[in-house]
Structure 1
Amino acid sequence: MSNRDGPSQAGAGVPFDMADMATVLVDGPGLVLGWSRKAEQILGYPAAEVLNRPIAAFITLPDGVTTTGPADGTGGTGDRDDDPVPGTWSGRVTARKRDTRRMELEVRICPLAHAGDRDLCLLFLIDPQSTPWWGVSQSVLERFLTHLPYGVAVLDTNLRYVWLNETLERTAGVPSEERLGRRVSDVLPGMAPEAMEAQLRHALETGESVLAFEHRGHVPAHPDRERVFSTSFFRLDDSAGHVLGVGYMGADVTDSKRAQERLALLTESGARIGNSLDIATTAAELVETAVPRFADFACVDLLEPVLDGREPEEGPTPDVASLRRVAHRSLRAGCPEAAVGVGEPSRYVARSPMVRCLIEGKAVLQSFGDDEAAHWLADDVIRADRAREFAPRSLIVVPLRSQRRPLGVALFARWWPNERFEEADLLLAEEFVSRAAVSLDNARRYTREHNAALTLQRSLLPHALKDTPALEVASRYLPADNRDGVGGDWYDVIPLSGTRVALVVGDVVGHGINAAATMGRLRAAVRTLAMTDPAPNELLARLDDLVLHLIDEGPADEDRAATTAVLGATCLYAVYDPITGRCAMARAGHPAPAVGTPDGGVDFVDLAGGPPLGLGSFPFESTEVELAEDSLLALFTDGLVESPTEDVDVGLLRLRRALTCRDRSLDEICARVMASVPARPQTDDVALLLARVHRLPADSVVSWDVPTDPAAVSGARDLATGALERWGLGDLAFTTELVVSELVTNAIRYAAGPVRLRLIKDSVLTCEVSDASSTSPHLRHARTTDEGGRGLFIVAQLTRRWGTRYTADGKVIWAEQVYPPQV
């Protein structure tokens, strides 16, 4: 359930909802043996602070009532239970929260044993301010324990089973008649019973509960697949303090645990693979990441042209005979499973999954023992011998590709008795192999000389700037004419939410491949930061922090070229809003932009300079200016106006004159500006970005204030659908109603007023809901048992993209829809 979506009231008619009820396990004397997370949420005490302490320290029961029920043996208040069970009690009590505040709770005390035995009981706590009261009868409780989705068992003092619920039988595949009277080691020999019995014995002898003990093994229900269980153990005592036995409650967390392990491996692969621009090193990093955490054996075979640094040939039938083993790794010393050694040719038969994977460009998951594996092994004598000797279970073969060109293959194998690969393993292998493919291709590209560096620099700049309804754009880049050639000047145009557009120009110190690479990192960082929609000065402050980290993690002192390229880099960042016509901008040591007015005048914006990036401890300031329709905004690097042979004012005057030609297209103005640069050997790159701004038509934007009343949601939907009908976008009415309903409901329910709804008709249809809260919503995937939490998930599924941006007095949640083809 999302922080913003809140609990649904659709299930208000159910008699007993554990999602809204806190549980506390208490013995006869009143000591706390169990403390649920819901109890922690209500009272604020974590389990570690309350276990084995008297419940009276936190909850004050009425006179005559104990944790085993009322003193007279009656069922307490009868208005919430038509047939009170002897020993139960329900009513309202006073509780003390962790912050010392007092609150009232609805409490139901229920014994866990048969009627008349009150030595162990459950307390059900409900906050009446947020949750309605539902009574819990003894029969409901018994059915609850029996059908609880967690496995529950009770063992005697000799650690022999005396009771277990249906879930535990089903999860392990051992029926109760085969468990009762027997020990864990007798019925679950594959689940490392020594460790489990050690935890049971610890809880039995010390009385200390053991929470979330994780153990692995095989159970009869899943003999071929290792399972992971999370189990909690607690001792059972009677009212006189006599030990009755020990109980445990557990759940099968195999799927979630493996998902965590796969995610951790994927994260590690990103950190480990690609730290070198050497092909062999990158391939070795790939197999070292995979073995032993993912596979028992892994190898990488690459095409010969890749090893020579040449561009691999594009086509459906690469020369499989030209593969060569670059790296392999095994759990066994010496890698005896490998059919060929590192550096040797690696040839596969035509019907093998390796050849099929390389030709088709698709990953293959194959289990050994089937007819398909037998067919190709019959043609490969060496690998057939290895299969007989080491008994493989399954293998995954993933193509190494770059820009649809084959580089080679990566193979992963698991041997007996380990488990077979699954479909989820195939997806994981494809993911980190694709990352390795990028690194391998970068290593091949690194062998290129000056022309490769120039290609890299140009490839990192936008290939084609697209005009938008907000502005027309054009650009020019002129590399320095010196020995290194390529520099680090760059520019970008970034579409933002609400039809706004960000314009950015930057300059990296130095020339060559280090400057080009640094420019690419900064441009990617700016584009990433821009997606979070900070103010221009905040974006530069975060970019400055990033540069400081890059400097700290720079190379050794004897090679400071990369660090020098980062330190002293400059940047100008501007955001134009076509609805208001205002442009906010900030700069870090960069030249201020020029603004050409519709009447032909040209001025430079009075914008606080700010220090270059990487100096730290200096603030950046934003300035906002209003731009008239058809105004010209010019962003440029210092190479355009600065020269060792003339004053900067001369360059600025020359630029001002070149920008005065208002009757020409942007491409013509760009050509005029670049032609104004004196013909001389360039010592610095030149980057120029021109934008002619436009206002969005007034009838393309509608907005309404929405009362902070849930009843106003339907009115907001009606207003939105009415606007769509006027715009001729009736086909989007249904989706827009859902989006408006979810966003407005969340704003009313979880945020602070005022709430405002705005629709923008541009290249996409944008729905915005603003409020005065700074709390950011989070998209979560609700479980099938959850009654809420799907609001933002629905919005994400129905729209092209959605997000949040913060304003001076709150935030805006927005979602974009594309128009139907006929619109």
Structure 2
Amino acid sequence: MREPNPVEELISGAAQDAGGWLGALPVAQVATSADGTIVRWNRAAVELLGFTPQQVIGRHIAELLHPGADRSLGRSLWEAAAGGRGVMGTVTAWHQDGHPVELEIWASPVPDRRDDASAILIFAAEAHAARRIRGSSAVWDGLFARSPVGIAVLDTQLRFLRVNPALEQMNGLPESAHVGRRLAQLLPEVNAEDMEDAMQQVLDSGEPVLDRRRIGRTPADPDRDRVWSCSYVRVEDPGGRAIGVIASLLDITDQQRAHSEAEAGRRRLALLSESSIRIGSSLDLERTAQELADLAVPRLADAVTVDVLDTLAHGDEPGMGLTGGVALRRLGKAPLTGSAVADVLAPLGRTLDFPAAAPYTQALAGRQPFLLARLDEKAIAPAARHTSKPAQLLKLGVHSFMMAPLVARDLVLGVATFYRNRSASPFTSEDVTLAGELTARAALSIDNARLYHREHDTALTLQRSMLPQHITPPPGIEVAHRYLPASDVNEVGGDWYDVLHLPRGRVALLIGDVMGHGTQAAAVMGRLSASVRALARLDLEPEELLHQLEAALEDLAEPMLATFLYIVMDLTTGRCRMTRAGHPPPVTVSPGGTVHLLDLPPGTPLGVGGTRFTTTETTLEPGSILVLYTDGLIESRGSDIDERLAELTHLLAQPHPSLTGLCDNLLTHLAPGSADDDIALLIARLPGGGADPDLSMEACAPLPR
């Protein structure tokens, strides 16, 4: 049996596992006796220089130095080591195939326990690779120690092996608390399972995972959620086998919060921009309230109700005091159906009475938003004393609640209420601000509707009071008339008509339209109507009467225009003298049914000034019909005026049993829906032609709208 080599025994413990440095650099281990004879040559030395152990063991170490290089450095290094000193340096060795190999070596003496001689243990590595790895190691150590990015090394079981100071600070735990434990054990209040799934994916596939979000709380900040951007890369040995994972973490909480706030700001601006288009598109209380509710769901709340003061819903003025409680009419609700929360809330049209101590009343009286960010039994206690609804909503998962009063022009008009049950996050102060801005816009639109309807009703009352209530034409002439106000979404205009007795068996038929709408137009109409009645008694020529009316318009503080048609008819001869000022032309229907659109000089509207009006004369057959109307009858959006006039003449050519029936037929066909403008209609039939004497005193009341 071969006796063990004493030198091999000495080096076996030091070099047993040294197959590579950091698992990536082949390190040759060579041992010599005291006289320089090679006694050990490992596998890494074979890979590095190509010689087998049989080729080198027993030879002197100096023979491995390259003959073309300076061998003095190699000899001096070995001699120093042999002299008892550890040395390191660079030498050029001889590769088995003949090319030079630059080596970095580390040599030190190993005393022999049996004599005073020392063996020499030499470690050698390819110099370029050693320098590269040494540099990489220095960079890694510096990065690991000083990087603000959290870094961790984990094994294949996803247990921490090492963490840097930045990660210690992020997690609020020292490295010793990390080592040997998994993330789920260490930080249960973050989404650890999701993170470990990502790391296992990296281990299995070798593909890195970038920017996976870790969210939750750590001992470093236990009272607030934070967000980290995490990336994972697999670590492999030289054979490509997975030996662990490197994780890098960057705290992006502030950036995420800033991004979220910016995104929320963009959403708020978009919602406010949309509100300017969708809320208040009509002057209608119910529609405006519903527009607010529809806009807020689901982008601000999961359910919304809009309640307006009951007095306002009835068309009365809003009350100023709320000391005795308040009655509210529900005019808006979203969603209307399909929601358990919405089903609990009172339906549209319901009047709700709240005592003075109820939160609804307090919110209205204080004119400030009311917020319960987190709803619970304690929070609903004040309201629960008045109704069971808060408890029902709490059972349905409503966890956050706010109210915003509808206030415009220093008047309290109602309140909007917002609920969250599906959205996880509670209402915030930013949500309260947004709700306040939305309700402010809705309140202004509601108040505009209130003011409009008040003025509309005033103008309509004024208009009706100034129209002739009972026209009594001279014997023999039949008259029918209609006044149709514009729809509720359009202001009342200044249309009027009249029939006046004149001396010498004559009658004046007139119709006019003050341009503009509202109370002012109605008032000017009344002024012109009274002026015509006074001037007609002076028996002025038609064109002179128009000049006097124009002078009356010039006296107004604000300029106004009006169209006007004035006809003086001799009932005995059928002779007519006609003058018009920018008004639609009259139409005649002969007893035989022939329809003519009278061709009169159009003139310019009264109030333009500097116009010379022209009087046209024509004679109508006995029994002929004369039709006067305002432009609301023949003008319609999207229709050509000539087509509408053609339709008018076609309707007049049809048989008609009476003038009343003719009025109704014209309005039914030419204004079947809500009119955009007021319509005034005056129809007269001359004596003769077999007229029904029972219709000679016919007068029709204005139509309601």
Same fold by TM (over 0.5)?
A: no
From the CA coordinates, give the structure whose radius of gyration is larger.
2
- TM-score, scaled to structure 2: 0.39
Question: Higher relative CO (CA 8 A, sep ≥ 6), structure 1 or 2?
Answer: 1
